[in-house]
Amino acid sequence: MGKKTLELEVEGLCCTECAVAVEKTLSHRAGVDQVKILSAAEKVRLNYDESKTSKEELADSIAALGYKVRYKGEDVAATAKAGGSRVSREVVRFGFVALVALIALLEIGGEYLGWFEKAQERIPVPVLLATIAIGGYPIFKRAVLGAISKQINVDSMMSVGILSAAAIGQYTSSMLIVFFMGIAHFLEEFTTRKSRKAIQELVKFSPKTAHVKLNGQEREIAVEALRVGDIVAVRPGEQIPADGAVVAGVSSVNQASITGESMPVAKQAGSEVFAATMNERGYLEVKVSRIGADTTFGKIIKLVEEAEAVKAPVQKFADRFTTYFLPAAIGVAVLTYLISGELIYAISVLVAACPCAVGLATPLSVIASVGSGARRGLLIKGGLYLERLAKVDCVVMDKTGTVTLGKPQVTDVVSLNGLPAEGLLKHAASLEKNSEHPIASAILSYAGAQNVLAPDAEHFEYTVGRGLRGIVEGKAVVLGNVRLLQGLRISLSPHAESVISALGNEGKTALLLAINGVAEGIVGVADVMREEVPAVIEALRQLGIKRLMLLTGDNERVAAAIANKLGITDYRSGLLPEDKIEIVKALQRAGLTVAMVGDGVNDAPALAQADVGIAMGVVGSDVALEAAHVALMRDDWSQIPQAIQVGRRTYRVIRQNIFLGITWDIVTMGLASVGIIGPVLAAATEVVPDVFVSLNSARLLKAPERLFSRTAVADGS
């Protein structure tokens, strides 16, 4: 017995009011903590102490609020079947909504022409009462369940309004309130389904089956039946069912579902592959290392679903508004009756009071932006970080592996006495064949690309911090820094010294090559800057970022050279990880909102300290994926200004949604309190803010491509 994690699927969990009610109910249960309400995914995740409560009791407590509850994975077949007929249902519903819109216009006009009285004379009262009872049943049921749970909800107020109108003989009005409330509820469900599209777009990439090799035979099984260590066969056109390593075969794999980049990536024995990616050409055999929710794709889906639970201050404001608004609305209705003496005015106030648009404003926008970004390889972990991105005015970046590629490359081969570059590379590569230093890999890779064959070296010697010596084809060859050559009394010409100085000023390491005691050439090696970074730095300036700073553990000369190429004057060199944390803290104390860009591993502490920690190229790195607030699934700097733009755009849409929702409620309640609009018109107008919030938030699902285009960043657009 002890702590356990429970995930429940809750049908109908569609708005902030619903989320607040469920969260309150669960939080009051003994042994429950860390409740996460995921409205957009219609899920609840929580930790509980099974010695104090059970999962059945927890599920029953949610069901008591009127929701249908399933344990994760239950009724999967039924859910899939229902999903299959969704398109036809949407067509029917659209036709229904169009018809209702026409009826609504006629009825609203009729309220001022006295048609209700005539209609009531012609329609028998029992028919009207039956219509109220049948149509209002879901509203009355939710109101009763709320009362049992000691909670006031929108349905409580609607029930009072409907029944009060009927009690004073306004049967037609009461019936039409039910009618319009049904339309409003339908629109809320439609709106939340649209917001869930972002998650559904991701989930649809999930593989369903796998071909497992057992005892030389191949068998198709459900992905859920896979086990770590299984060998799976993946043919052209099939999805890779789990994370793992290629053990046989050569192919190209489309990793768009993970990185958002549609260009295929070559895979062969030893390559890492990921679940939900598509094998395009060859045949692969993969040894499974991670399955299900533990795969990179599974973690992405989980993080997107949970993004809604990471609340921004603006979302917390909306939650508080929803909590206090309903009691306040009841107070306004009572006050209206006491002042005017007109019960119908008070009923109209109750019907007009609906905070649903405010409650939907933030979750819809957050899940739309987070889901849309995730499909493009930009993973933002919630509304809190979207809001912080919107306010970022300082970007701090680590050098190695972030601004640069993180591995040395040969940049220059300079001959001092006319020996061809191929000859210089041959002798240098011969010595480096015996070394495991990163620079050795750079020289050997470059020589291979130039089709230079390097013979084996004899009598190889390595001097720590200086370089290499050996015999190549009978010649004494030395490759190293100035100190090594000076120690061997090998002189350098003024030309050689000027080349060394020039390379140093560019932040490059100069390796001198001497043959038989004569300096013959210089090989320049550097950790090369990512080609798109300068354009991105300019794009950040255009976004109004006040301060840009480069941090590195390298020496002053290298730091200055890189900063100069970037056009950055603010840099710090010779830093340890703890130094980077202190620099971020100092910037925050100065009142700046800091985004820190790093690799997510060595920079994890500084990323955590920053207001927004942005980790690059996190695919396959659980540490980086967990450490960052914003994770870039591929090494693409253009996603950094995109992330800031997405944050600003989302925050702007949220504020628009909340402003309209609050303003609409205040205006309609005010008009209702003085009798300008009656209960029917008050009910009809409730659909307006919901439609606005839905359409406004939907803009975030299809962000302009230029926000996610490398070309756009490169050309400064």
User: Active-site residue numbers?
Assistant: 398
User: How distant, in Å, are the alpha carbons of 25, 160, 180, 345, 668 from that of 173?
Assistant: 34, 13, 10, 13, 17
Q: What is the distance between the alpha carbons of residues 514 and 517, in angstroms, rounded to a whole number?
A: 6
The pair of structure tokens assigned to 278 is 């598509």
In terms of residues, how long is the chain? 717
Both tokens of 591, joined, read 């009142």
Q: How far apart are the C-alpha atoms of 335 and 11, rounded to whole Å?
A: 37
* Residue 365: C-alpha distances to residues 45, 648, 693 (Å): 21, 12, 9
> Can you spell out the DSSP letters for 568-636?
---EE-S--HHHHHHHHHHHHHTT--EEEEE-SSTTHHHHHHSSEEEEE--TT-HHHHHH-SEEESSS-
| H helix or E strand, kind and range, residue 33 | strand 32-38
Cα dihedral: 557, 560, 561, 564 (round 10): -160
- Cβ neighbours of residue 45 under 8 Å, at least 6 residues apart? 5, 6, 7, 35, 36, 38, 306
Neighbours of 670 (CB within 10 A): 15
CA 4/CA 493 separation, integer angstroms: 72
DSSP state of 464: T
With contact defined as beta carbons under 8 Å apart, do 348 and 672 qualify? yes
Which helix (DSSP H) or strand (DSSP E) does residue 652 occupy?
helix 639-673
- Alpha-carbon distances of 191 from 14, 185, 660, rounded to whole Å: 9, 10, 16
Q: Are 631 and 624 in contact (CB under 8 A)?
A: yes
Q: Is 316 helix (H, G, I), strand (E, B) or coil?
A: helix
Quote the CA–CA distance of 543 and 717 in Å, as a whole number: 11
d(CA 7, CA 36): 10
The rounded distance, in Å, linking the Cα atoms of 370 and 198 is: 8
**Measured between alpha carbons, how far is 109 from 437 in angstroms, rounded to an integer?**
83
**Closest to 615 measured CA to CA, from 606, 605, 625:** 625
- CA–CA–CA angle 494, 495, 499 (5° rounding): 115
DSSP 99-163: HHHHHHHHHHHHHHHTHHHHHHHHS-HHHHHHHHHHHHHHHHHHHHHHHHTT---HHHHHHHHHH
267 Ramachandran zone, left/alpha/beta (phi>0; psi -120 to 50): beta
Cβ-based neighbour number of residue 700 at 10 Å? 24
With CA atoms as reference, report the closest residue to 230 among 298, 292, 285, 308: 285
**Residue at token pair 């999930």:** 206
Structure token pair of residue 258:
């993970």
CA distance 20 to 56: 21
